[in-house]
């Protein structure tokens, strides 16, 4: 039964299998396909099924009171060997397990194959080829930002370069790259690994995610001292990355000096290419999209299980750090101001990227509007404003009486690696 679910998940290109206890030791099974959870079945003997899963993933069958984490490689008929990452959490009625299917077919994909438009690549590729600087990819969990990051890494992966990564966890094995997994239980944290690998003469450093001040500080310093640093950050839109770095105590100077670009991303459903067809926009759509070009829709066919959609692809927002943006970081870092400057100084908004894809038949206008809802209003539809954000400019900053330019008084202890040069500091302003 467990094997069948995995085979089925592989065939349907599911990203996750969810198993959760219901009443009477039964287990509800669902799969996430194209971003939505779909019911599969509810089965008896939940504990036995859970035990079987734990044995497969090399976990302790008798441990039911603590969260566990394991992985297993399974041979599938449709897609060959696939890796599964399994996590369990104790809950009412037993344990919930989620099996994530690690899609190795995403590995080695180029940025073109991931849906980056020609226009965006023309702007992004020269930045990727710079020898140093910080490139950030942001988005919600499961938005494919790690896949994007690996695609960037693939383009710079050459024998003459030393590429090292620190990840949590290492999901894909990339030939030619030294990958290190953090281990919190053993104190092997992001900052600790980073300080060590900076002593190993790296050209390119990939940091799985910037989660804390210490990691952010090392990332910025490394990118200012001759390394290309690639990383992800939790932010909903591209300018949110700048706000987040300031919030972590980074100075406007170090951000302006090191950050080269931010790409935000979010998935939309892809139209089925067998049954999509071009249609004129309704008046309401024209009002929302600001264009009367024809778009696409699909009614469903046997190729797409009557859904009209087949797979997913991200929309991207590309923010280059222009002179205008750098200036804005010193002056007024309220998200609204940064967003306005970003749009004025050449940012390709997620909405603009989405509409380009809607006109090309990749997705529908509805999907673009759904995915960009909550993203800050840009050229196009009147998107509802997001939740209020803390104002970061000016004297409101703790420990920074003169506003931007000074560090908060209290900093976590971040010992500098021996011999690592301190980057130049900004003159007092």
Which residues of the shown chain bind Zn ion in the complex (CB under 5 A)? Answer: 272, 274-275, 301, 303-304
Q: Are 241 and 235 in contact (CB under 8 A)?
A: yes
Q: Strand pairing partners for 83?
A: 73, 102
Give the orientation angle of helix 238-247 with respect to helix 323-331, to 10 degrees: 40
Cα(156)–Cα(291) distance, integer angstroms: 38
> Phi then psi for 343, rounded to 5 degrees?
-65, -35
Parallel/antiparallel/unpaired status of strands 204-207 and 178-181: unpaired
Preceding amide of 169 cis, omega within 30: yes
Q: Take residue 349 and report the two structure tokens written for it.
A: 């908004």
Cα maximum dimension of the chain: 69
Cα(408)–Cα(207) distance, integer angstroms: 24
Cα(219)–Cα(255) distance, integer angstroms: 10
For residue 305, what are the contacts with CB-CB under 8 A and spacing of at least 6? none
CA torsion, ordered 287, 290, 293, 295, to nearest 10 deg: -70
Parallel/antiparallel/unpaired status of strands 80-91 and 94-102: antiparallel
Secondary element (H or E) of residue 310: strand 309-320
CA torsion, ordered 72, 75, 80, 83, to nearest 10 deg: -10
Cα(338)–Cα(242) distance, integer angstroms: 9
Of 134, 188, 133, 187, give the one whose Cα is nearest residue 166.
188
Q: What is the DSSP string of 28-43?
A: EEEEEETTEEEEEEEE
Cα(311)–Cα(273) distance, integer angstroms: 11
Q: Are 408 and 397 in contact (CB under 8 A)?
A: yes
Q: Which is nearer to Zn ion, 138 or 304 (CB)?
A: 304
């Amino acid at each position: 039964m467990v094997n069948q679910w995995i085979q089925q998940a592989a065939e349907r290109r599911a990203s996750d299998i969810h198993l959760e206890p219901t009443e009477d030791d039964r287990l509800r099974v669902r799969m996430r396909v194209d971003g939505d959870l779909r019911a599969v079945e509810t089965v008896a003997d939940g504990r036995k099924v859970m035990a079987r899963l734990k044995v497969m993933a090399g976990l302790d069958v008798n441990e039911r009171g603590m969260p566990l984490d394991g992985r297993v490689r399974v041979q599938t008929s449709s897609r060959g060997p696939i890796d599964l990452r399994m996590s369990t959490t104790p809950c009412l009625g037993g344990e919930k397990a989620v099996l994530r299917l690690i899609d190795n077919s995403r590995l080695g994909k180029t940025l073109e194959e991931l849906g980056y438009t020609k226009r965006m690549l023309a702007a992004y590729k020269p930045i990727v080829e710079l020898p140093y600087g910080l490139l950030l990819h942001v988005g919600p969990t499961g938005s494919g930002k790690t896949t994007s990051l690996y695609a960037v890494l693939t383009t710079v992966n050459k024998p003459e370069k030393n590429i090292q990564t620190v990840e949590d966890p290492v999901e894909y094995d990339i030939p030619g790259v030294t990958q290190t997994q953090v281990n919190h239980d053993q104190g092997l944290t992001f900052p600790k690994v980073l300080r060590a690998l900076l002593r190993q003469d790296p050209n390119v450093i990939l940091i799985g995610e910037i989660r804390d001040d210490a990691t952010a500080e090392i990332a910025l310093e490394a990118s200012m001292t001759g390394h290309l640093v690639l990383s992800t950050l939790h932010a909903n839109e591209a300018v949110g990355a700048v706000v987040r770095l300031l919030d972590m105590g980074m100075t406007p100077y170090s951000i302006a000096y090191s950050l080269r670009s931010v790409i935000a991303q979010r998935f939309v459903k892809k139209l089925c290419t067998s049954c999509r067809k071009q249609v004129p926009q309704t008046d309401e759509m024209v009002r929302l999209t600001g264009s009367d070009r024809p778009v696409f829709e699909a009614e469903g066919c046997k190729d797409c299980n009557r859904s009209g959609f087949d797979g997913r692809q991200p929309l991207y927002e590309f923010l280059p750090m222009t002179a205008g943006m750098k200036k804005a970081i010193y002056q007024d870092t309220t998200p609204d101001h940064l967003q306005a400057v970003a749009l004025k100084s050449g940012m390709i908004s997620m909405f603009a990227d989405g509409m380009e894809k809607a006109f090309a038949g990749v997705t529908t206008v509805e999907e673009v509007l759904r995915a960009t809802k909550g993203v800050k209003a840009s050229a196009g539809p009147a998107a509802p404003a997001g939740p209020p954000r803390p104002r970061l400019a000016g004297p409101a900053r703790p420990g920074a009486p003169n506003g931007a330019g000074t560090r908060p008084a209290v900093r976590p202890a971040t010992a500098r690696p021996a011999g690592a040069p301190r980057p130049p500091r900004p003159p007092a302003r």
